[in-house]
């Protein structure tokens, strides 16, 4: 839980930059109590932004992953629905240290994805006043998210190659690979 908690708080805190002006214009009594509610509001805003960001970037994420697969596999992998989850469960059960690294990268990807969508919203909310800061933030967020997504998927592919290689060396099914001996 600490990973998602921090990720949602970070994403939600950035979301509060564009949400606060909207809430302030509503003459809500809650605005006076905003300091008391800032952490819960940031957390909820972060969860919402994560879902919205996931759906808005989903198409692009799969295109980025196809490129990573071309680089690391030579051709995009045709995977059944849930393949990534099944692969991740296999890594968790067999290689816990590797699973921690994948989860860290996944958290970084979620923060970058949330930052991308938050940057678009911040830039949009600054209209009609052009804000160079928000444009710069947007210009940094796009390549940052693309790079992190590409890098993380490449790492996962490389990790699965190690798992598959160990299976081939042991002449076992990848699903029956034992934990490596330390």
Q: Is 108 exposed, middle or buried (0-12, 13-18, 19+ CB in 10 A)?
A: middle
CA gyration radius, the chain:
20
Q: Are 167 and 131 in contact (CB under 8 A)?
A: no
- What letter would DSSP give residue 82? T
pLDDT at site 136: 85
Q: What is the pLDDT of residues 29-80, one digit of tens each?
A: 555 565 666 777 788 888 888 999 999 999 999 899 889 988 888 877 666 6
- pTM for the model stands at 0.74
Mean pLDDT over each residue of the chain, to the nearest integer: 79
The 3-class secondary structure across 12-80, one letter per residue, is: HHHHHHHHHHHHHCCCCHHHHHHHHHHHHHHHHHHHHHHHHHHHHHHHHHHHHHHHHHHHHHCCCCCCC
């Amino acid at each position: 839980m600490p990973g998602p908690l921090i990720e949602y708080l970070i994403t939600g805190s950035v979301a509060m930059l564009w949400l606060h002006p909207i809430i302030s214009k509503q003459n809500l009594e809650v605005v006076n109590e905003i300091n008391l509610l800032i952490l819960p509001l940031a957390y909820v805003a972060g969860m919402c932004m994560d879902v919205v960001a996931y759906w808005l970037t989903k198409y692009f994420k799969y295109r980025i992953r196809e490129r990573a697969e071309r680089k690391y596999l030579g051709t995009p992998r045709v995977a059944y629905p849930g393949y990534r989850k099944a692969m991740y469960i296999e890594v968790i059960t067999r290689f816990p240290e590797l699973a921690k690294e994948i989860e860290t990268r996944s958290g970084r990807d979620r923060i970058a994805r949330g930052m991308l969508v938050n940057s678009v919203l911040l830039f949009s909310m600054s209209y009609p006043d052009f804000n160079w800061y928000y444009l710069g933030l947007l210009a940094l967020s796009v390549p940052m998210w693309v790079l992190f997504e590409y890098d993380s998927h490449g790492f996962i592919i490389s990790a699965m190659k190690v798992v598959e290689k160990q299976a081939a060396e042991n002449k076992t099914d990848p699903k029956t690979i034992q934990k490596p001996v330390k």
